[in-house]
Structure formats: C-alpha cells, structure tokens
Amino acid sequence: MHSGIINVLKPPGMTSHDVVSFIRRLYGIKRVGHAGTLDPAAAGVLPVFIGNATRLVEYLADADKSYRAELTFGFETDTGDDTGKVINSCPYSRLDSKQIKDTLASFIGANEQIPPMHSAIKIGGKKLYELARQGQVVERKPRKIVIDSIALITESETKIVFDVTCSKGTYIRTLCSDIGRRLACLAVMSFLVRTRVGSFHLEQALTLEEITENKEQAIQNVDSVIAHFPLIKLSGQEAQAIRNGRSIPCNLTGSDLVKMYDDQNMFIGIGRETPQQENMTILTPVKILSPGL
C-alpha cells in the first residue's frame, strides 16, 4: 500500500477536497488527507498525505505558511476577494510606495484577525460559509495570528503584490482588507499563490499532470513532514522496545519531539524526550508507524 506525502501544486478552480478526491482515484486508496485548506480560486502548495502518512498531518497543520498575494484597491466584496459580490466602492488615488511599505511593515508581529464569513470555521455546528450562503452574518471572535514577514514586491495604479509569511489560521483575504483600511481605502484580494507550507516549497510542487505521469516518484517519504525534528538512531533491541510501546533511556538531544530510526535506517516514528533526575532522559513513543513504511 502506498504511504507518503505528495507536494501538490493545486490549480485555481479546484477545492482542496477536489485534489484529495483526485489522489484517491489515481492511487486507488481511501486514506488520503491534506494539510492547510486553500480557497478554490487560490493556487499553490497543498501537501497531500496518503496511507499511514495521514497519521502525521497534525505535525504540519501548525506549520507556518508563505504566500504571494495580489491586492486590488477601490472596492470590497462579501467574500473578501474578487470572486464575491461588490458591496462597496471608493475613489482611489495611487499611494506613495513608502506609505505602502510602512503600512505593510506595521502588520509584522502578533495581531488579531476576525475570520471572514466565507470560511470553513464552525459556529454552532455550521460552517460560516454555509451561513453566509443563507444570507446570515454572525458575530466572529478575533483570533490571534502572527505575521513573521511581509514585503512589497510590485505596485501599479490600483494593485500591489506582496509576499507574506504567517502563522496557521491567517486569512490572506482578511489581511488584504485590513491593509486597505489602514491605508484609508477599500481593498480585496485579487490573486493568491501559497508558496510554502512548512518544509514544502512551491519550487518542488507537482502539477496533477506531473503526478499522473510519475505516480511513484511523486510520493515523498513519510518522514519528510518532520525533516526538522532531531534524529535519534536506535539499536535493534531499543527499536523493538519502542515499537512495542515501551519507554527506554536515551541521550538527550535538547528537544521535545524527535524522529526515530532503527539500525537499518528505517523510520520508526515520533518519540518524546522526558528529562529525569541524575541527567537521565527517557524516550517515550508518541506515534509509531508500521516498520514496513
């Protein structure tokens, strides 16, 4: 059975669920999931997990993400992007580059953001976009986000293009609207490409056509999602103990979670280091994957 991760270049016009369905059919496997939903109109990196690798989705869900976004000034829509219904407009005169750069920079750091109505967040058991389609607008609580970096790439009469790296849960549509407000003008997101999710980059992402042509080569190793974890190599006896769910003494790496391999360089799974007294550290299994992966 196939297990691993595919760095998919999601095309505009498909939902993230559409991509998952495509991969299910292509590989003939039911256990498929993805990390980080992309809007249908957006393109870019969508890591797709297949087989037992789906057990590791959570380790990418909290990863930071990078985007390249286009913002258009002069109007706002009910969705926050240019696919929605225009609900307001305003005159717009081209702004000074320094003013735009300074405004973008003002978003760096911790922020609060109100999620858009057209999102998959659930309130009262219903997704916000379902309520929005019924014409309902409900109160949404601000959520904490972090903007690590943001930079102006290009500008024109009514548009700017910027790169942003941000925390999980950041809505770029809302960020575009907020940027417009700080510049005293209405704005919408008019284009979006996700360029990175954790260690998965746009440069290595594969189109659906490329995946279809090279099904086996498209699958990355299961442990690629935790490439940044410290590595611990175990003896055959230690590996067997860990696979059986037992804790063992180990040398401290200074980390909490580690990736574990046996003496044949086979990936075992994820463990947690717990320092004990007298400089002793215990390695406890957290998530063990089949030795055949």
Given 39, 81, 223, 262, the catalytic residue: 39
Residues 174, 177: Cα–Cα separation, whole Å = 5
Residues 60, 47: Cα–Cα separation, whole Å = 9
Pair of tokens at residue 40:
């249908």
Is 39 an annotated catalytic residue?
A: yes
Per-residue exposure over 138-150, b if at least 16 CB sit within 10 Å of its own CB, e if not:
eeeeebebebeeb
Interacting residues of 243 by C-beta distance below 8 A, sequence separation 6+: 268, 285, 288, 291
The pairs formed by 145-151 with CB atoms below 8 angstroms and a separation of 24 or more are 145/110, 145/111, 145/112, 145/113, 145/169, 145/170, 146/109, 146/110, 146/111, 146/170, 147/107, 147/108, 147/109, 147/111, 147/175, 148/64, 148/108, 149/108, 150/104, 150/105, 150/107, 150/108, 151/104
- Closest among 201, 248, 194 to 220, alpha carbons compared: 201
Pair of tokens at residue 23:
């991969």
Residue type present at position 250? C
Q: State the alpha helices, DSSP H only, in the chain.
A: 16-27, 58-61, 97-105, 128-133, 172-182, 208-213, 236-243
Positions annotated as catalytic residues are 39
